[in-house]
Structure 1
């Protein structure tokens, strides 16, 4: 079963640290990111199987909490197609700049 994981932290540096920890922790992929309030709130979204996403999110939260505070985090197993659509819209904006491809879950 596939899942998405989201972690929202205060600040870009904490977000990068969290992402790095998540990717090194488990077999997950970076899906996209969003920033709000001028970058003060950054949300990182990852994808993978449920257990890998759960482990990665917890390690990312622990890493981010050493720098700032984690605002929120969630793991969504078997996300609804409309949820995936929302994530893909975000990813399309990100990867259009990069020229990368978007892969479905």
Structure 2
């Protein structure tokens, strides 16, 4: 079972804002994109993992990116040393394949 040092997540409204947040998160810190989920009615969450400091930096950068676009972050969280059973939830949202880049 995989053990994450920390996970971070942002929830906002709309794929464009989530893409901007995910891009900012990945550029701001050494985190790995776990995946995303269209929660309901356009609310979308994006999850990253990495060390605690990187997840905090990434989430802060994602929040700023969404706010700079004039949108609102509905929720965000950084969970240091998450319980190992959270991997059951994380795996449900994990991106299993990525499109090839040219």
Scaled by the length of structure 2, what TM-score is found?
0.86
Work out which of the residue numbers 72, 77, 81 in structure 1 matches 2:75: 72
Scaled by the length of structure 1, what TM-score is found?
0.83
Work out which of the residue numbers 34, 39, 49 in structure 1 matches 2:37: 34
Q: How many residues align?
A: 95
1:51 aligns with 2:53: yes
| Cα-to-partner distance string for 1:4-62 (whole Å, 9 max, x where unaligned) | 00100111100000000000001000001100224x10100000000000001001001
- 5+ residue gaps, structure 1, are 101-105
Higher helix share: 1
- 5+ residue gaps, structure 2, are none
Moved over 4 A (4+): none
